[in-house]
Structures are given as structure tokens and as C-alpha cells.
Homo-oligomer: A and B are copies of this chain.
Amino acid sequence: MDVEDWLTRLSLFKEDALRREIIDKAQLVEIPAHTTILREGQYVKTIPLVVEGVVKVFREEGQREQLLYYIYPNESCIISIHCGFNNSKSHVKAITERQSTLILIPSFESATWQKKYPSFNLFVLNLYQKRFDDLLEAYDALAFQRLDARILSHLEMKRDILKISSIRITHKALADELGAARESVSRTLKKLESEGKVQLQHGLIVLLG
């Protein structure tokens, strides 16, 4: 599979001229799991379009991290586009959650392409919309929900995406994603288990109900 194959499959960009420009200027990369693809304070020169795998985007401060959202196939990181536009630094970090395939599109073209190609403009716009929703949801969770509810909905989200109700994750990793302490997560999971909402095994959480 090369860039052209993926573009055809994604059918995100309608105009032939746009596809040709992307094929010409973008490169396809395979990235192993748990690799940083965007760090804080970095100027962003490419838009990473995820075609396979998952990328996690989060804020980091000191020891704590706070998940913003995940990027799934067919999507990209709005923040890259955002920073490319404003020529500003990134305030977030992005790492691959597992082995992933990305198309790296140079971002300096994006403003031009948005003017020239309606489908590229729509792509960016849809992305902003989606991320805005994601962010609003994340904000909401932080502002109004307690840890038990946050854990549960986080797990449900994972289940819906992976389409498996047995989620392979350690308490530590879960805690990190939620910006919480491992001990609190362990305790809360125990509570959820006693309430019959999950079932716990070593390195594995099974959602019930």
C-alpha cells in the first residue's frame, strides 16, 4: 500500500489535482506503538493523517497527563493543522497507542489547499467539529463527573471502539489516561466490581451489563 492506494481507499479527497499534490508531497510512514509523534512546544510541519492504528493526544504537565482524545483511522490531528495555520507551537503531546500507519502531509500547503479544494476544506472543518465535541466532552467529564463515572465511560468508549468488552489495560495506564492516581483507580475499580459493573483480572477489565 502506498499513499495513492490509501487515498483511494479513504475517499476523503475528491479532486484529482488535490490527490496528485498529496501523493507528490506526502509520505507514508509506519510507526511502532508508543512512539511520540508530536511533542509539546514543537513547531508543527506536517499533518499526520492516520490510516491504520490509533494515536492518543493529551496534555502533559509535570507528572500528570490528561487525555484529550484519540485519533482513529481516517482522521487527523486538528492541532497540527491548527498550529500549521497560526504558525504556533503545539501545547499537546501525541503518541501512537499501537503500531500505526500515517500519511504525513506537509502543513504549509494546507491554507492554500483549503481555498483551492472544497473537499480539503470540508475535511478540516469536519475535523474541527469532531475535536470540538470531543474536547467539550472531556471538559464536561472533568468538571462534573466523579472518578467512578469517568472510568466507566472511558472503558465503554474503549469497548465501542475496539468492539470487545474485555479491555486489556493495566490500572496504571488507565489512571494515566484519566489523569488520576493509580491507587484511586484500583480502589474505584474494586468498587465497580462489587457493584457488578465490571469484572477484574490481571491486566484485564471486563465490562458487564
Interface positions of A (Cβ within 8 A of B)? 59, 61-62, 64, 66, 68, 78, 82, 85-86, 91-92, 114-115, 118, 121, 124-125, 128-129, 131-132, 135-136, 138-140, 142-144, 179
Contact = CB atoms under 8 A, between A and B. Distances in A.
Q: How many copies does the complex hold?
A: 2
Contacts of A179: 143
Contacts of A61: 140, 143-144
18 contacts: A59-B136, A59-B143, A59-B144, A61-B143, A68-B136, A78-B132, A86-B129, A91-B136, A91-B140, A92-B136, A114-B121, A114-B125, A124-B125, A132-B132, A132-B135, A135-B139, A142-B142, A142-B143
A124 B126 CA distance: 12
B78 A143 contact: no
A61 to B, nearest CB: 5
Nearest first, the 7 closest Cβ-Cβ pairs linking A and B are A128-B128, A66-B143, A61-B144, A139-B139, A142-B142, A135-B135, A82-B129
Secondary structure type dominating chain A contacts? helix
Nearest to A139: B139
A59 B121 contact: no
Contact of A128 (B64, B132, B143): B132
A135 B142 CA distance: 13
Given A59-B139, A125-B128, A132-B135, A144 B66 contact: yes
Given A59-B136, A131-B132, A135-B139, 19 more contacts: A59-B139, A59-B140, A59-B143, A59-B144, A61-B140, A62-B144, A64-B143, A64-B144, A66-B143, A66-B144, A85-B129, A92-B136, A121-B121, A124-B125, A128-B129, A132-B135, A138-B139, A139-B142, A142-B143
